[in-house]
Every structure is written in C-alpha cells, then in structure tokens.
A and B are shown apart, each in its own frame.
Chain A
Amino acid sequence: MHPEKKSSYDNLSRNLSLTVITVSFAPLILVGGLIFHQFRSIYTEKVFAHLAEVVDKHAADINTFLRDKLTEVQYVSRTSSFDHLATSSHLAMALRGMQQQYGRIFVDLGVVDSHGRQVAYAGPFSLLGADYSGADWFRNSKESDAIISDVFEGLRQSPHFIISVSQGRGEARWTLRATIDFLAFSYLVQNIRIGETGFAYILNSRGVYQTRPRDERNQDLELTPRRQLGRVGSLAGVSIFESVDREGDAYVTVTAPIKGGEWQLVYQQKSSDAFSAMTRTELVTLGIFLIGGLAIVVMALLISRKLVVRFQAIDQESELMSKQIVETGKLAAIGELAAGIAHEINNPVAIMIEEAGWVSDLMEDEGGELPSYAEIQRALTQVGNQGRRCKDITHKLLSFARQSDSRATEMSVPEFIREVVDISMQQARFAQVEFDLDLDETMPRISASATELQQVLLNLVNNAIQAMEPEGGRLSIGCAMDEGQAAITVADTGPGIPAANLGRIFDPFFTTKPVGKGSGLGLSICFGIIHQMGGEIDVESTVGRGTRFTIRLPVPPPARQPETRQEMRHD
C-alpha cells in the first residue's frame, strides 16, 4: 500500500463521515433549536402569566379584605354617634359583634376626638386616654375620612395597622379606629407559596415591609433590577422584573399595587425555581441530543471506515485483476509469437525431410555402387531424424501456445503432466534438476481447462527449478487419487520457504525475488485458477529440506461421461 494511496483512503473516509455527520446534524440542530427556542419562550410566557395571575388574584384578595374591614368600621361609625360610642360598653359591644363576624382580626376599637385623644377604648390593651396626636394615621385622618395606615409598632410595641374612619368638621371631628391583627393579615400574604423559593410580602410606598417576610434572610435580600419584562397584557398594574442578588442568583419579581397604590404586593422567586420544570426538560432533551449525536458520529465513523475498507479491498482486487489480465495477455502474446514461429519453421523442415527422402530414394535406385553409399544413407537418415526432432519441438511449442481458453475438457492427468515436463525439460537440464515422476496411470480422467492447468503446473515447476538453481536437485511430480479427489504433487529439494512467509506466498504481489525479477503474481494466479476449478492448492515446506505443493481437483462422477463423438463416416 503506497503512503499517498493510504492518505487518499483516509481522506475518503474522513469526507464520508463528515458528510454523513453534517447531513444528519444540520436538520437535527435546526429543528431542535427551533423547537427549543419556541418551547423556551412559550414556557417562559406561561410561567410569567401564571405568576402574574396568582399575584393579581392575591392582590385583589388583599384589597377585598382591606375594603371589607374598612366598610365594617365605616358601618359601625355611621350607625352610631360619637356620644354613643364614647361609652365604652357600646364600643365593647360593637367590637364583640365584629369579632363574631370576622374572628380575631379586629383586635380593638377606639374612639379618638379631634385632638387625638382616645376617649373610649375596647380591647385587650389599656389604651384609654392614649394620645394619638403625633401618630401618622391621625395626622392623615384630618385630610381623609377613611384611612388604612401602614404597619407600625405604635404604643403597644407590636406590629399592627389601623383602620380609622372620621366624621365631622373641626372640633366636632371624631375618629373611630380599629386595629387589625397583623398575624391574620400576614397570613393572607404568606399563603402565597409557589415552588421552593417563592414568597410574597407587602411594601409601602417608602419601601417598608408591611408583612413579615418568610425568613430573616429575605429582610436583607438586596436585588439589583436587571430588566423589566413586558407587562402581562391582561392584568393592569402587574409588572414583572428579573433581578439579581449579590450572589448572582436571578430572581423573578412580580409586583401588584394594592390599597389604591399605597402598598405593593411583591412576589419573588428564584428564576431557577420558577423555571425548574423547563430546565429539567431542557436538560433531558439536551442529554438525548448529545447521546443521539454521539451515536450518529460513532455510526458515521464506523460505516465510513467499513465502506472504505471495502473500497480498498475492491481496489486491490481490481488491481490484481488488471495485473492478471496483463500477465495473461503477455502469456498469450508470447504464445502466439511462438505459434507463428513454429508454424513457419514447420514448412522448411518438412521440405528438408522430403528432400532428404528424395535423395535416399535416388541413392537406392542409382547410387548402389558408390563406395560411401552406406555412409550417405546413414547421413540421410540422420537428417530425417533430426528434422523430425525439430518437428517434435515445434509441435510442443504449438500445443503450449494453444489459444488459452477456460473451457473444461476431459483430460488424462498423467499424460498432461508428461507434456508439461517435456516443455520444462530443457530448463531443468540447465539447472541440473532431475525429474522424478510417479504417475498413477489408472486414475480417472478429470474435467478441467487444459491451458489453465498447464499454466498452474508450469508455474509450480518453474518455481521449483528456479529454487534449486544453481546446485540442482530432484523435482518429484506425482499424481494419484486421494480421498476421491485427483491430487497432483510437485516437490523439490530446494532451500524451502521460511515459516514466516509460508502463509503469504499465495498473496498477490508477495515476492522474495529482487525488484523487477518477479511480479509476485504467479502463485496468486495459480491459487485463483485452482479455486475457480473448485479445487484447492496448499503448500508444506521445511527450510533446508524442500517444498511440496499439492493440488487437489474434483473428479467428475463417472455418470457424466460425455458421449463419444459419433462416427462421421457413413459407408
């Protein structure tokens, strides 16, 4: 395998796998990315919409709650006069009535005059006579008749807020105030719990917490707003932010105004928590995508590798085929040349033989008295004999150069072997190789292509002779029946083949001869021919002792004897 060829195969393999990978990944990534993006935006929208709705609903609940309480206080204030309420027994009755209706949400009731003094009080604390003139809510109550205050500690040192309803003008103005139990109110907000980190609280316009945050940590949760997300269309007043805390965690913040915009209901949740389902789905999808992608890559590599290996094998085969064709072509050309020469020599030789015969005819008639008559006759006979010898040689050549055809004919193995030995005799003599034939004359005829088998046997014999050059040796050729097959053995007494090479001698292009001397195709062609005939060829060799090739060919069953050619002549 040439290095540049190898790299071209590597290139082919790489290109194949790249093409396969690209073609499979491109739509996967496109479709995947599109769906991914769509899913993400739709899901995000859904989550935000859901949060907004929840917050909006709670804001409405809180508003309702506050309005209810306010209405209740207004009702009490309107249905009674200042004097009436200023007597604490009435106030206590009103408180009881309220508590019966709403539970312990109303902690106490008090009546405050225009100077901020509490002139009547019903409730658990002793706040009768308490001075509220400095309290925010009292100052605010001068301007508006109905007030819901911010949460404050006030005189009782516990967080609460006040609903106050005022009536009258100037000195006659009086205020009915009710304290709302902060816990009950907080509970409204703390109910909003979504996921693991979602919590809600209320801020007033100055950013002071109006409810207890879920835990102390959230008290100092400082968020840097990052971006405001589009207001969710359907819900007025609800806005959504994404913000980041100091540790870099992203939060979703949803706010809704309550109490006419004085307060804000704030809901916060870590983004990772809000979108946990989406993240999980995305991770699973990504996992599947990665595993699938890996599988695609692996398969592409494997398949392209496999294909290229096949290509390589096919290329090698075709290379071998073309080499074989060239070899066969050469053989055929040499054969034709030999046939032409043999044919041309035949005629002159025939004429020479006839001339010698003619001379001997004449001698018989007229030359009987010649002193050297006998000698001349001997010489003429010799000329005839030598001519016939030439004829034998040309006929052998012609039979060797018979047009190569792979058509099977009936043939006798021993006869065939003798023919091949005759052709190689001269070469063997130069190499000082002696033939030793052990032919079983009784073996059945086989059906094979004579020219192809000749090529095989000649190849083996030539190899053996070359192996034994120049010291010479003994070349034993035998044929016999072996387990129902015709076996032909060619054994030499040459140097043998090293065990390392023994497995490779039938490989194409394997040769131990110097460059340019052998093509390394001879034995592989033999192997091919014998296997095409349905036979097998194998080799055993001992270094220093010699090598033995054995060819086994199938013998046709005797039932299939071709019918003998009919007599042509009809007398």
Chain B
Amino acid sequence: MTDATVLIVDDERGFVETMAKRLEKRNMTVFQAFDGDEAMARLAEQPSIQVVILDMKMPGKDGLVVLQEIKEAHPLVEVIMLTGHATVPSAVEGIQHGAYDYLMKPCSFEDLNQKIAEAVELKSEHEEEAVEARLSDITGRMG
C-alpha cells in the first residue's frame, strides 16, 4: 500500500517525469499525463487515483477546463493546481471550482509533498461521508 496515488498533468514532459521519479521515491504511485484528454483517460482507467497535480497553462485544454471535467466525472478526486503565473484571479477561480489548493511553479518539493498528504487525508474523509450518504440513501430506499 503506497502513501498516495497521484496523477501529474503537465505539458512539460521533463517536469512530469522527474517529479514522478521523486514522488515514487517517497513511496507514492504516480501516473503521468501530458494534456487534459490524457488526464481524463488515466482517471477513467485508474480509479485508485486520489490526487491530481494539474498545471494551469497547457496547450489544448486549459487547466481550468480540465479541473471542471475532473470534478464532474470524479468529484472525490482532489486537485492541486500548479500555476506559473502570479495570477491570483485564476487561482481563486480554481479554488471556486473545487480545487484543493494551488502552488506557484516552480514549487518547493516539500510543500508539494505536504499538500499531497493533506489532500489524501481530506479525500478519505470525503469518501467516508460519501459512503455514509450512499448507505443512508440505500436504507432510505429500502425503507
């Protein structure tokens, strides 16, 4: 059992690969995607993914759009946004669309680690709530 299952989404291949290696070294399972569509495909085939690290600026689908798609298809997956810009408005927008947090690129590796850990914890909490909700839903229907 790994500490966390992470999907890194960024158009910079080198960044993704190195990041993956470093995270795997810290006992995480890491999947990689280089654009939004690939990210959605990964999420679809790997339900174990807990946290997505998502770059805001990508060719093709913009980070914000991908974020909305993820939250629609996989509401329980937590998303940490990476932004190259000091654009606070887009970050705020991301938070409003349900991102867990955002970090400025290049970010300190330690910060990222910590955020992943927090996100995983939050996700498990949410999952328990969701299970309870489903249970009550089922019992409600049974009743």
**Is A387 on the interface with B (CB-CB < 8 A)?**
yes
Chain A residues with CB under 8 Å of B109's CB are 354, 357
**Is A350 on the interface with B (CB-CB < 8 A)?**
yes
**Is A512 on the interface with B (CB-CB < 8 A)?**
no
**Is B22 on the interface with A (CB-CB < 8 A)?**
yes
Chain A residues with CB under 8 Å of B19's CB are 354
Q: Are A361 and B57 in contact (CB under 8 A)?
A: no
Complex Cα gap A159–B22 (Å): 156
Interface locus among A107-115, A117-125, A341-349 = A341-349
Q: Are A346 and B22 in contact (CB under 8 A)?
A: no
Complex Cα gap A308–B19 (Å): 70
**Is A203 on the interface with B (CB-CB < 8 A)?**
no
Q: Are A346 and B18 in contact (CB under 8 A)?
A: no
Complex Cα gap A351–B108 (Å): 12
Q: Are A398 and B85 in contact (CB under 8 A)?
A: yes
Complex Cα gap A28–B18 (Å): 94
Partner of B96, one of A351, A354, A355, A568: A568
Contact with A along B49-85 (1 / 0, CB 8 A): 0000000010000000000000000000000000011
Name the distance in Å between B49's Cβ and chain A's nearest Cβ. Answer: 21
Chain A residues with CB under 8 Å of B108's CB are 388
Complex Cα gap A388–B106 (Å): 8
**Is A474 on the interface with B (CB-CB < 8 A)?**
no
Chain B residues with CB under 8 Å of A343's CB are 57, 84-85
Name the distance in Å between A452's Cβ and chain B's nearest Cβ. Answer: 18
Interface set, chain A 328-383, CB cutoff 8 A to B: 339, 343, 346-347, 349-351, 353-355, 357-358, 361, 365
**Is B95 on the interface with A (CB-CB < 8 A)?**
yes
Chain B residues with CB under 8 Å of A358's CB are 18, 21-22
Name the distance in Å between B134's Cβ and chain A's nearest Cβ. Answer: 18
**Looking across the interface, which residue of chain B has its beta carbon closest to that of A569?**
B95
Highest count of chain B CB atoms <10 Å: which of A350, A351, A387, A395: A350
**Is A305 on the interface with B (CB-CB < 8 A)?**
no
Q: Report how many residues on chain A are interfacial, defined by Cβ distance under 8 Å.
A: 22
Complex Cα gap A350–B109 (Å): 10
Complex Cα gap A343–B15 (Å): 15
Interface set, chain B 68-118, CB cutoff 8 A to A: 84-86, 95-96, 104-109
Given A343-B85, A347-B84, A355-B18, the answer on whether A387 and B25 have CB atoms closer than 8 Å is no
Q: Are A350 and B12 in contact (CB under 8 A)?
A: yes
Q: Are B86 and A346 in contact (CB under 8 A)?
A: no
Q: Are A391 and B106 in contact (CB under 8 A)?
A: yes
Complex Cα gap A350–B12 (Å): 10
Highest count of chain B CB atoms <10 Å: which of A351, A355, A365, A387: A351
Q: Are B86 and A353 in contact (CB under 8 A)?
A: no
Q: Are A350 and B15 in contact (CB under 8 A)?
A: yes
**Looking across the interface, which residue of chain B has its beta carbon closest to that of A357?**
B109
Complex Cα gap A387–B86 (Å): 17
Q: Are B104 and A353 in contact (CB under 8 A)?
A: no
Given A347-B12, A347-B15, A361-B25, the answer on whether A354 and B86 have CB atoms closer than 8 Å is no
Complex Cα gap A400–B120 (Å): 36
Complex Cα gap A354–B107 (Å): 9
Q: Are B12 and A351 in contact (CB under 8 A)?
A: yes
Complex Cα gap A355–B15 (Å): 8
Complex Cα gap A460–B70 (Å): 48
Chain A residues with CB under 8 Å of B104's CB are 391, 395
Q: Are A349 and B106 in contact (CB under 8 A)?
A: yes
Q: Are B106 and A398 in contact (CB under 8 A)?
A: no
Contact with A along B7-35 (1 / 0, CB 8 A): 00000101100110110010000000000
Q: Are A351 and B57 in contact (CB under 8 A)?
A: no
**Is A285 on the interface with B (CB-CB < 8 A)?**
no
Chain B residues with CB under 8 Å of A281's CB are none
Chain B residues with CB under 8 Å of A144's CB are none
Name the distance in Å between B97's Cβ and chain A's nearest Cβ. Answer: 10
**Is A19 on the interface with B (CB-CB < 8 A)?**
no
Complex Cα gap A568–B106 (Å): 25
**Is A399 on the interface with B (CB-CB < 8 A)?**
yes
Q: Are B14 and A351 in contact (CB under 8 A)?
A: yes
Chain A residues with CB under 8 Å of B21's CB are 358, 361
Given A347-B15, A398-B86, the answer on whether A361 and B22 have CB atoms closer than 8 Å is yes
Name the distance in Å between B133's Cβ and chain A's nearest Cβ. Answer: 14
Q: Are B86 and A399 in contact (CB under 8 A)?
A: yes
Name the distance in Å between A533's Cβ and chain B's nearest Cβ. Answer: 22
Name the distance in Å between B116's Cβ and chain A's nearest Cβ. Answer: 15
Q: Are B96 and A347 in contact (CB under 8 A)?
A: no
Q: Are A346 and B96 in contact (CB under 8 A)?
A: no
Chain B residues with CB under 8 Å of A349's CB are 106
Complex Cα gap A411–B60 (Å): 36
Complex Cα gap A347–B82 (Å): 11
Complex Cα gap A387–B105 (Å): 11
Highest count of chain B CB atoms <10 Å: which of A346, A354, A365, A395: A354
Given A351-B14, A357-B22, the answer on whether A568 and B84 have CB atoms closer than 8 Å is no
**Looking across the interface, which residue of chain B has its beta carbon closest to that of A403?**
B87
Complex Cα gap A339–B85 (Å): 9
**Looking across the interface, which residue of chain A has its beta carbon closest to that of B10?**
A347
Complex Cα gap A355–B106 (Å): 12
With A350-B12, A568-B95 known, 8 other A-B pairs at CB within 8 A are A346-B84, A354-B19, A355-B18, A357-B22, A357-B109, A388-B108, A395-B104, A398-B85
Q: Can you give 6 A-B contacts (C-beta < 8 A)? A: A346-B84, A351-B14, A354-B106, A361-B21, A388-B106, A388-B108
Which A positions have Cβ atoms within 8 angstroms of B?
A: 339, 343, 346-347, 349-351, 353-355, 357-358, 361, 365, 387-388, 391, 395, 398-399, 402, 568
The 5 closest A-B pairs by CB, nearest first: A350-B106, A354-B18, A346-B84, A351-B14, A351-B15
